[in-house]
Amino acid sequence: MPATNLAKYPVDLHTHTVLSDGNDMPYELVENAVSRGLRVIAITDHDVLPPATVMKGSGEECEIVNYGLHRGLIIIRGIEFSCETTVQDVHIVGLGCDWDGDIMKNEAYEISLSKAKAYEETIRRLNERGYPIDPDELLTKNGKKITWFELQKKRIFDMMAAKGYTPDWKSAKLMVREDPYLSVEREKPAGAHIVEAIHRAGGIAILAHPWLIDTQVDFNGTPMTRKDYINTLIDAGLDGIECRYTYDKTSCKDTRPREQIWEDVKRFTNGRLFLSGGSDYHADAKKGVKNPRELGETGLTMSEFFAVPQFRKLYLKITGGRDINEFVTDYAGF
């Protein structure tokens, strides 16, 4: 394996597949992570339960966590919830939940209902504004038909860019977001509610990309700062926060180098939350996106990962109690 292909960080706790708005099948995601030398990944598709299996190229279906172990990769099954009707870009990642129980299933189902209605109305308004998008084309993914319930919002942005309405998906997102008519608000679960639901399902709750949230927000009619809003989540029991993230490759309004934003997040938390990190990988290179997010370009080191008690507990559960020192020693280069 060429050294230039190795990821900078061996732990990436924010990735997506075709189950939401990513472009890798779960099997492809696993193999790509292995090829880049990652040791731990979390699969965190938007508002949908994580895959339980992978379909190998041979057609053989395997349980996904065990397949990861066979490939030398710890796979943490997760979900990324979109939260708050009145505050944009509040995403909470749940890791290590009971995915077979009703708590997470019910949350995902209720969200799918609200998304379908809002996205259908968004397309109607875009067509009305002179940005024609054929619903049949939108609902055809990888040659297969999907429903409004399966549609992810980023797919709308991708199609706007593909049709030349905007330079890229990031510009499309900002255009829709900043236009009161095009920005169709759907009913989203409260962040505090999702934190509580994740805990009831036995998982840990992590605020993703916190500095994508505007510096000033309207939280259910109450003006407050981003930091004040995040403090409400901390009061509700939030466990962790995504510190290292690919801000410069997203629609973030803060144009400082990503490392400066990381330091801001770290100073703000001041030890109140554990620190997480991830690339928000979508395999966008498959669509010709220039400078796409790559697996492991942001994330955690092995020592940082194992320094978090909640992550250590997940590791021991997944591996059946494998000695941590042995695992780290095998890949001491990280």
- Residues 80-92 have pLDDT tens digits of 999 999 999 999 9
Residue 49 lies in a domain: yes
Residue 279 lies in a domain: yes
Q: What CATH number is given to the structural domain containing 101? A: 3.20.20.140
Domain count, the chain: 1
Instruction: Provide CB contacts within 8 A for 310, sequence distance 6+.
Output: 96, 204, 239, 240, 274
The per-residue pLDDT for 329 is 64
Give the C-alpha distances (Å, rounded to integers) separating 298 from 8, 221, 262, 293: 7, 35, 11, 9
Model confidence at 325, pLDDT cuts 50, 70, 90, reads confident
Contact 207, 240 (CB under 8 A): yes
By three-state DSSP, how is residue 93 classified?
A: strand
Give the C-alpha distances (Å, rounded to integers) separating 195 from 44, 95, 151, 236: 15, 11, 24, 7
Model confidence at 3, pLDDT cuts 50, 70, 90, reads very low
Mean pLDDT along residues 139-164: 89
Residue 166 lies in a domain: no
Residue pLDDT, tens place only, 13-57: 999 999 999 999 999 999 999 999 999 999 999 999 999 999 988
Q: Provide the whole-model pTM.
A: 0.87
The per-residue pLDDT for 1 is 37
> What residue has token string 């998906």?
169
Model confidence at 9, pLDDT cuts 50, 70, 90, reads very high
Instruction: Provide CB contacts within 8 A for 78, sequence distance 6+.
Output: 13, 42, 43, 44, 50, 93, 94, 95, 96, 97, 203
Residue pLDDT, tens place only, 177-234: 999 999 998 899 999 999 999 999 999 999 999 999 999 999 999 999 999 999 999 9
Q: What is the domain range of residue 310?
A: 7-80+89-117+188-330
Residue 171 lies in a domain: no
The per-residue pLDDT for 58 is 85
By three-state DSSP, how is residue 78 classified?
A: strand
Residue 140 lies in a domain: no
Residue 136 lies in a domain: no
The per-residue pLDDT for 219 is 96
Residue 131 lies in a domain: no
Contact 46, 93 (CB under 8 A): no
How far is Cα 28 from Cα 87, in angstroms, rounded to an integer? 34
Residue 130 lies in a domain: no
The per-residue pLDDT for 59 is 86
